[in-house]
Amino acid sequence: MIAEILATGDEIRTGALVDSNSAYLAERLDSQGVEVTRHHSVGDAPAALRTVIDEISRRADIALVTGGLGPTVDDRSAEAAAAAAGVGMALDHKALKQIEDFFKERGRPFSLTNRKQAMIPAGADCLYNPVGTAPGFDITIQRCRFFFMPGVPYEMKHMFNRQVLPRIEEMQGDERQFNLLKTISTFGLPESLVGEKVAAVGDQFPGITLGLRAKFPEIQVKLYLQTRDDQAGCKMLESAADWVVRQIGRPVFSDDGHSMAETVGNLLISRRETLAVAESCTGGLVGNWLTNSAGSSSFFLLSAVTYHNQAKVKVLGVQEQTLIDHGAVHESVACQMAEGARRVADSTYGLSITGIAGPDGGTPEKPVGTVCIALVGPNGITARRFHFSFGRRLMNKRIFAMAALDMLRRELVAPIKKTDVQQEKNGNR
């Protein structure tokens, strides 16, 4: 079975919006063993919509269409589908009721234009939308089964996973294949070196193919396997993943899709330990990452974003003389920040970051990209200095925050007694 994906709307056609729906759907279909051959985008003009629906209907078995189901006059997907199928439009009473209820529950006025959303091509099977106002529909045109879904990513994903995917699985029947994927996330090694370490995975585990992906500042190793036997395939993939993890070693921080912040959070939760952070140049990014997951309140107590030096002194107890002697970006300042955060919050660990994100503020001795990170905990205190040469401010903030979380992760995975202040260049470890 082959599938094509169509994203509609003038915002996508004119580039006002980056279409992320198509990549999401392609990845979901691919993992389901459905081959995606083409993606398309057209605007809201009915003729253009009609033409592309027509083309797809003669070529593909499955078409996933997003967008154009809203209440306004610009939303023409349903009409275009009806025209391509040679049918009229019909009101779906259950969909209308759901839209009315949706507005009632939220105390918002129901306008007549919203009624338009309950009109779908005659004979199409309605895909109800419990999380928004635009229902989708399932209609066969020529040789192809079309699934029309809303363009809002959250609503689209909900509808795809609960309603469209089961229908596709039913279409697949015994033919069903699985494209299995396992992602191993690493931090701290360059892509080329990660590639060398795992290049032989296909020889060790025949049938498994390898992909590397730089998702700054992580390097991800992706293992793919196409199989009809879901269970045996999963087992083999797990063995291959174990082999990859052994090859790469400690730079692997996750083999289950968890981010660095989630990994650190889960380690702290399982150890029933707590964390206080002292940030400077990262501006709160570490705290923001750590609190993106529910449950973070059980380990995350504080992040003192002491951007100004006086805040470092008053909130964290950094000594003025240390700042005068060494400037804010120095191992001894980082140590005092980490200790201060731990003391104030009474946490198991204190983690600090002070650096130069740029574009200004660099010196020959401490260029933009210099960062000092300190970690204090039951096993003592460690401070390290890194020089990252990515140049751009937002990239520096991200890699500083990742390097800090990674230092804590390595401590939690295998604590080592340390008292030294170490120096490190270029972020190699």
Count the site residues for a copy of itself by CB under 8 A: 86
**Pick 31 or 140: Cβ nearer a copy of itself:** 31
- Is the separation of the CB atoms in 241 and 221 below 8 Å? no
**Pick 71 or 125: Cβ nearer a copy of itself:** 71
**Residue 239 beta carbon to a copy of itself: minimum distance, rounded to whole angstroms:** 22
Binding pattern for the stretch 215-244 against a copy of itself, x by CB under 8 A and - elsewhere:
-------x----------------------
Answer for which of 60, 286, 338, 407 binds a copy of itself (CB under 8 A) is 286
Residues 92-151 that bind a copy of itself (CB under 8 A): 106-108, 111
Our finding on whether 158 is near a copy of itself (CB under 8 A) is: no
Our finding on whether 368 is near a copy of itself (CB under 8 A) is: no
Secondary structure string (H, E, C) spanning 320-378: HHHHHHHCCCCHHHHHHHHHHHHHHHCCCEEEEEEECCCCCCCCCCCCCCEEEEEEEEC
**Pick 195 or 421: Cβ nearer a copy of itself:** 195
Our finding on whether 284 is near a copy of itself (CB under 8 A) is: yes
Answer for which of 16, 112, 324, 414 binds a copy of itself (CB under 8 A) is 16
- d(CA 170, CA 228) in angstroms, rounded, equals 15
- d(CA 303, CA 288) in angstroms, rounded, equals 9
Q: Under 8 Å CB-to-CB from 235, ≥6 apart: which residues? A: none
Our finding on whether 291 is near a copy of itself (CB under 8 A) is: yes
Cα distances (Å, whole numbers) of residue 55 to 23, 52, 58, 149, 240: 21, 5, 6, 19, 41
Long-range contacts of 199-207 (CB under 8 A, 24+ apart): 201/240, 201/243, 201/244, 204/240, 204/243, 205/236, 205/239, 205/240, 205/243, 207/236
Our finding on whether 198 is near a copy of itself (CB under 8 A) is: no
**Residue 290 beta carbon to a copy of itself: minimum distance, rounded to whole angstroms:** 7
Our finding on whether 353 is near a copy of itself (CB under 8 A) is: no
Number of C-beta neighbours around residue 316 at 10 A: 23
**Residue 147 beta carbon to a copy of itself: minimum distance, rounded to whole angstroms:** 16
Residues 26-85 that bind a copy of itself (CB under 8 A): 26-30, 36-43, 48, 52
Our finding on whether 15 is near a copy of itself (CB under 8 A) is: yes
Binding pattern for the stretch 248-277 against a copy of itself, x by CB under 8 A and - elsewhere:
----------------------------xx
Our finding on whether 300 is near a copy of itself (CB under 8 A) is: yes
DSSP secondary structure, 160-190, as one string = IIIIIHHHHHHHHGGG--EEEEEEEEE-SS-
Our finding on whether 19 is near a copy of itself (CB under 8 A) is: yes
Answer for which of 229, 238, 346, 424 binds a copy of itself (CB under 8 A) is 346
Residues 114, 117, 118, 119, Cα dihedral to 10°: 120
Identify whether 130 is preceded by a cis peptide bond (ω within 30 of 0): no
